[in-house]
Each structure stands twice: as structure tokens, then as C-alpha cells.
């Protein structure tokens, strides 16, 4: 890690969520929970809906309850500071507990990222039993889960200056994920994190969690920002070969190769900026997809599976047409390196998700590929599809026959993540 990057990386966890999002304000949307929580729509009978983008808030005792003796008192713990729950590793502030806009009484706050304390939010954010009940109420059978806080951010862990502790924190996170998967009866599947900065430890942990039953990984799409080699480098080759061999996907969750915060006008209030930033994060996954397509990596790893998560689907046809044009106009010297065209790479290597959209699933599903699109809710984050999950599914997919609905809502996710049903 270069000295120039050290301050930025050290603060990565603390700034993972914007501090403005926890201040007083926002608007409470009253939810008729009984009406919105009728379970699976009868028209979808027989489909085990897989929600492919949700977030598990790391429980306050996740690390302290699992810490080996030598690290007691050193692993992350939650402290309440100025009325906001925050993660600390020693005296280092690792930021808030993440996004949760669903209140304990099932109402939803708009215009904010979360309630200040874990007690105010929905228990299903971090408790398995309550989560499964919420899923049953929404008519969702299984969920693919991602982190919520920045407590496992690689940059901040690297900056601890204690590699063994940093690797242990990652392992404890993955241990909790494996336990949760079992506790849920194979309904909650959390994507693993890795000690990306330590090649040997990364590969060992990847193999451990895959053998332990976890179904995939979440990665930054520009590891150079962490002072690590880019995905062009053979640093990553054994890991990517392992993913191919296990059929385990790598996932890029809003980790676009751009920083949308640089795109908003100065002078905006928090809510104005957030609306633009959140949208551009999703669309920015077009850059993630393009980076892999032009890299040559997908020719070296033709069976690699890549999930572009919380990205939406409506931008895909335009991006693919644009990349087809750029391949023709800008890449003639790479014609012997890149063995396929963008549409071929997308067909063979990529999956996308949708949640709030209607135009995409109604008009573009067959254009993008019926076997390339999955469904998500983003529960319990801001912009999550809550309440009314079943209503939206029927609005967006109601015109299709049962097999197409099952393909989008269940089978694509089952095949991408190798789910046991």
C-alpha cells in the first residue's frame, strides 16, 4: 500500500455510507403491512422466488462472539456515538452499520439511508428468524445476501497494520455467513469476502469457503484503488481459475469503475445528490461489464460467471450495442486477442438483476435474454422494493407464461449460484 493511498484507504470503512444519511429528517411512509404481506401470489404457485440482491446487517456480536482468544478485544465491535451505532476496531471508526430504511414497525423512511440505531430498524436486517418471516410475508423463498456496513472494507483492514487480525476479521465474517446459511435451512446465501491484499490468504480462504458451502464472492471492480494489481495481472489467475472450477460466480455490487459522487452539481442537498448518485452507480456497471469484455480475461476464463448486482437491466441493450460499435471502430488491433463479440461475452459470462423497473422486464427481456435476468428487492436498503413485492412482480412479468416467470424469478439464480433446489 503506497503512502499516498494510506489515508484514503484507512477511511474507506468510515465513509462507506454518507454520514448525512443518518441525520434527523426524512419522511415516514406508512405501510399497510397486512395487505402487502400476503405471501406468494397464486399466479406464481410452484416458483421459489430468489431475491438476488439483499443485505444482511452485520450483527453487533458477529465478531466478538467468534473471536479467537488472542484477538479478544481487538475485533470489530459496535459503539453508540452521538446517537448513531458505529463499528470500531480498537480506536478506529469503521463507520455506521449500513442501510436499513425499514422500521421495526414495518413502516419505511424515505430520504435517508437508515435509522441511527440498530434497535429502530427491522429485526430481519440481522436476525435470521425475523428475516425468514419477512421473506415469507413477501413471498420470497431465498435471498442472495451482501454486506451492509463497511466493516469488512479491504482498504481499512489493510490500514490496520496487523495482517493476521485483518485476515481473521474476514474469516469471522465468512464463518457467520456459513452459519447463517445453515440456520436458515439453505435460504440465506451470503456472498463471501476475501483478504484481497494477501494472495496466499485470499486463495486459501476462497477454497475454504467454497468447500464450506458458500456460493460466490463479492469483489471491487477496480482493485487498483486499493493499491492492488488490476484484473489484468496474473495475481488473480489462480483465484479466477478456482471460481471456474467450482462454478462459483464473482459479483460486482454497484462497484462501478466511476465515482458518481463526482457527477452531481455542487450545492445539492443530500436527497438530491443521492437520487443521482444511486442511479449512476447502477448504470455505471456498464463500465464494469465493458472492462471485462475488452480485457481478454473472458477468453482465458470462458466459464467465469459474473453477476452485475443492483445494476438494473434497462441499460443493457444500449451498452451492448455501444460496445459492438466500439469493437468495430476502436479495437481492430485486438481482433486476434478478443475471440468473441460483446453480445457473445454477455451471453456466456454475465447476469443482471432488476427490481423497480417495468419497461425493462416488459419490453426488453427477450432482447437481453430470458436466461440472463434475475429479480431482486434490495431489502432493506434505500430504494428497496418494499412494500408490494408480489404486486410489482405481477406488473412486470404478468404478461409472460409460467415458465418464463420461473426462469427469471428462480432458475437463473439457482444456476448462477448453484443453489440446492
* Total of domains in the chain: 1
277 phi, psi to nearest 5 deg:
-60, -45
Q: Give me the helix-helix angle, 342-349 and 285-295, nearest 10°.
A: 100
**Mean pLDDT taken over the chain:** 95
Over residues 349-377, the pLDDT tens digits come to: 999 999 999 999 999 999 999 999 999 99
- DSSP code at position 311: -
CATH number (domain holding residue 322):
3.20.20.140
Residue 166 placed within a domain: yes
Residue 100 placed within a domain: yes
Q: Given a cut of 90, is residue 7 above it in pLDDT? A: no
Residue 188 placed within a domain: yes
Over residues 251-282, the pLDDT tens digits come to: 999 866 678 889 999 999 999 999 999 899 88
d(CA 87, CA 58): 10
d(CA 80, CA 271): 25
Over residues 28-72, the pLDDT tens digits come to: 999 999 999 999 999 999 999 999 999 999 999 999 999 999 999
Residue 174 placed within a domain: yes
Residue 1 placed within a domain: no
Q: Given a cut of 70, is residue 181 above it in pLDDT? A: yes
Over residues 300-323, the pLDDT tens digits come to: 999 999 999 999 999 999 999 999
**Strand residue runs (E) in 90-224:** 92-96, 108-110, 142-146, 188-190, 217-218
Look at the alpha carbons of 224, 334, 292, 312 in this order and tell me if their dihedral is positive or negative. positive
Alpha helices in 284-315 (DSSP H): 285-295, 297-300
Query: Does the pTM of the predicted model rise above 0.85?
Result: yes
How confident is the model at residue 256, as a pLDDT? 67
How confident is the model at residue 277, as a pLDDT? 92
| Under 8 Å between Cβ of 253 and 218 | yes
Residue 119 placed within a domain: yes
Domain range for 104 = 6-417
Residue 229 placed within a domain: yes
Over residues 233-257, the pLDDT tens digits come to: 999 999 999 999 999 999 999 866 6
Q: Residue 61: is the preceding peptide bond cis (ω within 30°)?
A: no
**Strand residue runs (E) in 132-216:** 142-146, 188-190
How confident is the model at residue 255, as a pLDDT? 67
Residue 35 placed within a domain: yes
Q: What percent of the chain has pLDDT over 70?
A: 98
Amino acid at each position: 500500500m503506497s503512502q499516498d493511498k494510506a489515508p484514503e484507504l484507512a477511511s474507506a470503512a468510515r465513509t462507506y455510507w454518507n454520514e448525512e444519511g443518518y441525520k434527523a429528517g426524512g419522511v415516514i411512509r406508512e405501510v399497510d403491512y397486512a395487505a402487502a404481506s400476503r405471501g406468494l401470489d397464486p399466479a406464481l404457485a410452484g416458483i421459489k422466488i430468489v431475491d438476488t440482491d439483499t443485505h444482511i446487517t452485520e450483527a453487533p456480536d458477529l465478531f466478538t462472539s467468534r473471536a479467537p482468544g488472542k484477538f479478544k478485544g481487538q475485533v470489530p465491535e459496535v459503539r453508540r456515538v452521538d446517537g448513531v451505532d458505529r463499528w470500531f476496531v480498537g480506536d478506529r471508526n469503521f463507520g455506521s452499520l449500513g442501510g436499513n430504511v425499514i422500521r421495526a414497525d414495518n413502516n419505511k423512511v424515505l430520504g435517508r439511508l437508515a435509522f441511527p440505531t440498530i434497535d429502530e430498524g427491522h429485526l430481519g436486517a440481522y436476525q435470521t428468524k425475523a428475516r425468514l418471516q419477512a421473506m415469507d410475508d413477501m413471498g420470497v423463498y431465498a435471498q442472495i445476501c451482501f454486506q451492509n456496513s463497511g466493516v469488512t472494507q479491504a482498504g481499512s483492514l489493510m490500514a490496520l497494520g496487523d495482517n493476521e487480525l485483518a485476515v481473521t476479521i474476514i474469516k469471522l465474517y465468512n464463518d457467520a455467513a456459513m452459519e447463517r446459511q445453515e440456520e436458515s435451512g439453505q435460504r440465506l446465501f451470503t456472498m463471501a469476502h476475501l483478504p484481497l491484499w494477501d494472495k496466499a490468504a485470499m486463495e486459501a480462504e476462497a477454497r475454504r469457503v467454497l468447500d464450506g458451502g458458500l456460493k460466490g464472492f463479492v469483489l471491487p471492480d477496480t482493485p487498483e484503488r486499493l493499491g492492488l494489481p488490476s484484473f489484468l495481472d496474473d495475481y488473480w489467475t489462480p483465484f479466477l481459475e478456482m471460481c471456474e472450477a467450482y462454478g462459483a460466480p464473482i459479483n460486482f455490487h454497484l462497484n462501478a469503475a466511476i465515482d458518481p459522487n463526482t457527477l452531481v452539481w455542487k450545492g445539492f442537498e443530500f436527497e438530491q445528490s443521492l437520487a443521482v448518485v444511486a442511479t449512476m452507480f447502477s448504470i455505471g456497471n456498464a463500465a464494469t461489464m465493458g472492462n471485462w469484455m475488452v480485457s481478454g480475461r473472458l477468453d482465458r476464463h470462458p466459464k467465469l460467471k459474473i453477476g452485475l448486482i443492483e445494476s438494473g437491466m434497462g441499460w443493457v441493450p444500449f451498452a451492448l450495442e455501444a460496445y459492438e460499435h466500439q469493437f468495430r471502430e476502436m479495437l481492430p488491433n485486438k481482433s486476434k486477442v478478443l475471440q468473441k463479440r460483446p453480445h457473445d461475452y454477455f451471453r456466456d459470462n454475465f447476469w443482471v438483476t432488476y427490481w423497480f423497473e417495468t419497461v425493462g422486464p416488459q419490453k426488453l427481456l427477450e432482447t437481453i435474454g430470458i436466461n440472463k435476468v434475475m429479480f431482486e428487492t434490495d431489502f432493506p436498503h434505500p430504494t428497496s422494493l418494499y412494500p408490494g413485492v408480489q404486486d410489482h412482480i405481477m406488473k412486470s412479468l404478468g404478461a409472460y407464461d409460467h415458465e418464463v416467470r420461473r426462469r427469471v424469478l428462480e432458475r437463473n439464480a439457482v444456476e448462477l449460484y448453484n443453489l440446492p433446489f
